[in-house]
Structure 1
Amino acid sequence: MKFLAISGSARRASTNTAMLRALRAAAGADHAVVLHNGVGMLPVFSPDLEGEALPAAVAELARAVAEADGVIIASPEYVRSIPGGMKNAIDWLVSREELVAKPIVLAHASHRGDDMLQQLRIVLATVSARFNEEIFLRFRLMALSPEEIAARLAEEAAVGEMRAFLNGFSRFCAEG
């Protein structure tokens, strides 16, 4: 099963991106996790740029979504809301076919962010008939150094949680 993991953060030292990298490393032979951390590189959404004028970065994101069996989104919270880059990425995909029936789940790298997560759940349930809010992965990584995050996510219990998350998502995707 191939999953596209999208980080909603544009920050190089993002805890959400670090968590998605660890998820990719924890994936067993039955799962491939492809990381997309380029939401900050997408141009601001404009319907005038859809169709033949579609920017290459948007076409690449849409292609990655189309090639995946499911999408995992991990996003930080900015001012109790969805970060602009993440919302912009969703805006680019909302009028396209790739996301409509794509299985989508959330992961989160903080003990905070429930307001953003609720907003993201509403948006994703609107754009995909296969958004599943029950399958959810959360680690409390906020304020940890990159080294501490790597050590925490390499622990046997954390790897087990990540594998269980991927297995549950895989079963959901297979239900078709």
Structure 2
Amino acid sequence: MTFRTISILALSGSLRAASYNTRLLHAVARLAPAGVDIAVYQGLGALPLFNPDLALTELPAVVALQQAVAAADGILIASPEYAHGVSGVMKNALDWLVGSEQFPGKPVALLNASPRATHAQAALVEILNTMSARIVSQASIALPLLGSGLDQDGIVQHATLGTILRDAIAAFAAAIQTPECALIGAAFPVK
């Protein structure tokens, strides 16, 4: 039997250099099991503000994002909460993906570096449901990283956090491989 590598695209809703959500995504990429490749996307800051009047063929940053999403088996999103809402960076990226033919039905898992970011997570679930994403609830978690001082290495080496993240990615990979068995919903457990 031949096994295919599962490709997951990770999107951070923060452009901040010291973002805990971005650190979390890089840590998860390092913790991914064999056969799962997680690539943290670097191009969200290059996206122009969403304007449906612009021709996509003239927007290389938008085309690159849409191609990366199309090539991925699943999408992993970690985004901060700003003023009880989704970050502008994440909302802008999702707006550019609304018309994408490849996004509907795409498995999505949500991670967050702060259990207090409930408003943004609820808004993300609403947006993603509207976009016909397949949210994998058992792989969507919030971790208490905000203010922890943990960098990417610290997250990877932390016994409890590492285990939680490995379990979440394993659940996400399983849901991608067997979509009929995935529990889909808006649950967002705090660890």
What are structure 1's unaligned runs of at least 5 residues? none
* Residue of 117, 121, 135 corresponding to 2:121: 117
Aligned to 2:182: none
Matches within 5 A, 1:13-162: 13-53=18-58, 55-147=59-151, 150-162=153-165
Give the aligned partner of residue 189 of structure 2.
none
Q: Distance in 2 between matches of 1:86 and 1:107?
A: 13
Q: 128-137 or 159-168: which moved more?
A: 128-137
Does 2:177 correspond to 1:171?
no
Q: Is residue 17–residue 37 contact of structure 1 (8 Å, CA) maintained in 2?
A: no
SS at match of 1:111: coil
Deviation at 1:63, TM superposition (A): 1.0
1:5 aligns with 2:10: yes
- State how many pairs are aligned: 174
After superposition, the C-alpha distances for 1:97-147 in whole angstroms (9 at most, x for unaligned) are: 121121111000112110111011000011024123343122111123354
Q: Quick one: structure 1 residues 37 and 16, their matched pair in 2 at CA, closer, same or farther if it must change by over 3 Å? A: farther
Going from structure 1 to structure 2, the CA distance change for 1:141 and 1:129 (only over 3 Å counts) comes to closer
Q: Cα distance 1:144–1:50, how it changes in 2: closer, same or farther (>3 A)?
A: farther
1:67 Cα deviation after fit: 0.9
Q: Is the contact between residue 121 and residue 133 of structure 1 (CA under 8 Å) also seen in structure 2?
A: no
Letter in 2 for 1:89: A
Distance 1:161 1:37 in 2: 25
Shift in CA distance, 111/150, structure 1 to aligned 2, threshold 3 Å: farther
Q: CA RMSD in A?
A: 1.6
TM-score, normalised with respect to structure 2: 0.85
- Within 2, Cα distance between the matches of 1:50 and 1:142? 39
* Kept after mapping to 2: 8 A contact 1:22/1:154: no
